[in-house]
Amino acid sequence: MTVTTPTNESGAVYNSLPAKARQAVYWAYTAAGISLGAVQVAYATLEHAQPGWLKVALAVFTFLGGAVGIVAATNTNKTLPDVEPAVDHSHDVATIADLIGDTTDTTPEPAAEPATYQAAADPTKEN
């Protein structure tokens, strides 16, 4: 598999963060988002007005989402891994009998023709 390291000529901070630090940032951002969302839902459920601090916190959280996204995007591999070509299995169609090893023909016999009733000729009558 080919892995490339993101580079940036400006030496931005997001390229110098080790993987563990980025993971901590992502978890902290996730926890903050869940917490703020839960508080907002609680205020809405109680039909109370949202306090000013919650409005500010949600605005700052949304603004920081851009920076978190940049960190994530710049640390994503830019090249695809080397993979084996896909194998075409469309011609490999198996029946249930093939899968279980049963070769007994389970095709039902055609139904017999229904019998027709013909009345016996009456011997007292002439044809």
Q: Is the pLDDT of residue 23 over 50?
A: yes
What is the per-residue pLDDT across 46-100, written as a single tens digit (0 to 9) for each? Answer: 999 999 999 999 999 999 999 888 888 887 776 766 777 666 666 666 666 667 7
Report the distance separating Cα 53 and Cα 55, nearest Å: 6
Report the distance separating Cα 68 and Cα 23, nearest Å: 11
Q: CA nearest 43: which of 31, 29, 28, 58?
A: 58
Q: CA nearest 68: which of 6, 17, 34?
A: 17
Q: Is the pLDDT of residue 37 over 80?
A: yes
Q: What is the pTM of this model?
A: 0.48
pLDDT at position 11, please?
A: 46
